[in-house]
Chain A
Amino acid sequence: MTRFQIIAIRLLLLALVLAAWETLPRNNIVNPMLLPPLTDVLKTLIQIVQRAQVQEAILVTAAEVIVAFIIAVPLGALIGVLIAEYEYAGQIFKPLLFYVFSVPKSIFLPMFILIMGIGFQQKVAYAAFSTLFVVIMSATAAVESVKADHVLVARSYGATRMQILTRVYVPSMMPILLETLRISMIFNFTGVMIAEMYASRTGIGHLIANWGENFQLPQLFAGVILLAAVAITFNEAVRFLENRVSAWRT
């Protein structure tokens, strides 16, 4: 199958799903109260993004996501690199981190609320916490992906420590680092959403939870489309970079 054919089939499938979303509820094959037709949802989407309350919620959520990301990624990367580079640190902390990594982070959410209330800080803290471990694990893997042979070659040609870092470590790790960025954003976004849906006064997650409880399904689906669009756009943008810097990995 050619690349063109594959893309054509993908688009066809997408069109089928969207068409079903529109026609099934319209013809009462699916209850339109539970699944409002696509065009209704899109109309609602255009309406709600013009509302001040929704715009404010979008800004709050965006700020939470960005701040949590800025905290979790460098911190996790630093810890991950230290663990990978220092043997004893790795031996001591790796098992502990793996244990915490395996626990669903959402069970800690009530503790964050008890300690920090339900404001901006708590959302950021919880989202950063739920992202941190995956960044640590991936950063460790990134360092371990650097080949000792390559470091030896660089040393044999007189590379300084700084040159080994910039000319061997960074390019070796770049594909995994970008992948980490992408995956940590998924965790981070999820963290913010869960925190907002669980207990909050504002934010898109809060609105979605409310719309669900009040049975406002067009609004609920509009919120879902909005968030999905943002998440997919970020993911694809990083994946595009990833493919560009990791062509040599094939």
Chain B
Amino acid sequence: MKPNLTVVHEAPARPAIEVAGLNHTYAGREGDVPALSDISLTVSAGRFVVLVGPSGCGKTSLLMMMAGLRHQTSGKLDVQGQPMAAPDPDRVGVVFQEASLFPWLSALDNIAFPLALRGTPKAEQHARSTEMLNLVGLTGFGARYPHELSGGMKQRVSIARGLVQDPPVLLMDEPFAALDEQTRMTMGHELLRIWSQTSKTVVFVTHSLTEAVYLADEVLVMSARPGRIIDRITVNLPRPRTYEMMGTETFAKLRDRIWQQIRKGE
């Protein structure tokens, strides 16, 4: 099932992420279980790419491999031109589901955490994380602890933490899944604003088709396990995106096409 609408990009000097012939199996109760099958994809620098697919299709696994947190059984996976043998905060920042902030650290200290790990001088840590706090719209909330923040605010802190080391690539694993619909929309919009101000390459995993179309330059649709890429859909909506676009026919058609592909792939 090859994608019938392959878009050829003008290839830049070096893609931010390059995956070729990637396979992954894991040891199950009854022998090896194939999880990802022959994944090939290219993400150009500065693009916003969204991965969608049914539950358990391996999209989170794929993202964790891009983060260097898991290793593929075979195939190539390069980020910024180099394989991900181990997590590398200089290349990749990760934003997890459910924020995963450290509850014993203030918002500002959570943001500074990656800098603290590498022993950045305190003054620089403070300056840099305050800058990120402002970028994500939380000016004045630095001293708050996670339990004093709303779900949306926690994810803002989490995004700030992902950006604090200024990595070229930001990986996001269903970051807004636990938020209510309204907050989720706002956060999507905010994310696009932050993205446009930082020009990162983003790979974003989600279950929400609306979110996928609203955010993405390109949507990659994965099949049920073993996960394969079954379609690659370019979203031609102009930027900056607005809420009104969700009501347009183009939006509905794109969303519908993703939905059809997911159903076929199940």
Contact = CB atoms under 8 A, between A and B. Distances in A.
Specify the main secondary structure of chain B where it touches its partner.
loop
B96 A167 contact: no
B128 to A, nearest CB: 14
A147 B118 CA distance: 22
B114 A157 contact: yes
Interface in B81-129: 86-89, 92, 94, 96, 98, 100, 102-104, 113-114, 116-118
Interface residues of B, number: 24
B87 A155 contact: yes
A248 B92 CA distance: 29
Given A157-B89, A167-B116, A168-B102, 8 more contacts: A149-B100, A150-B102, A152-B96, A156-B68, A156-B87, A156-B89, A158-B86, A158-B87
Interface in A132-186: 147, 149-150, 152-159, 163, 167-168, 171-172, 174
Contacts of B89: 156-158
B114 A149 contact: no
B146 interface: yes
19 contacts: A147-B100, A149-B96, A152-B96, A153-B113, A155-B87, A156-B68, A156-B69, A157-B87, A157-B113, A157-B117, A157-B165, A158-B86, A158-B88, A158-B114, A158-B118, A167-B116, A248-B103, A248-B104, A248-B147
A3 interface: no
Nearest to A156: B94
Contacts of A155: 69, 87
Given A159-B117, A163-B117, A248-B145, A152 B69 contact: yes
Contact of B100 (A152, A158, A250): A152
A-B interface, 8 closest residue pairs, ranked by CB to CB distance from nearest: A157-B114, A149-B100, A156-B94, A248-B103, A171-B104, A248-B104, A158-B89, A157-B89
Contacts, number: 59
Contact of A154 (B68, B104, B117, B145): B117
Nearest to B86: A158
Contacts of B230: none
Contacts of B224: none
Contacts of A158: 86-89, 114, 117-118
B221 interface: no
Contacts of A171: 102, 104
B67 A156 contact: yes
Nearest to A153: B100
B165 to A, nearest CB: 8
Contacts of A168: 102
A51 interface: no
Contacts of A149: 96, 98, 100
Nearest to A168: B102
Contacts of A156: 67-69, 87, 89, 92, 94, 96
Contacts of B67: 156
Contacts of A150: 100, 102
Nearest to A246: B104
A123 to B, nearest CB: 38
A175 B32 CA distance: 41
Nearest to B115: A157
Nearest to B145: A248
Nearest to B113: A157
Contacts of A249: 103
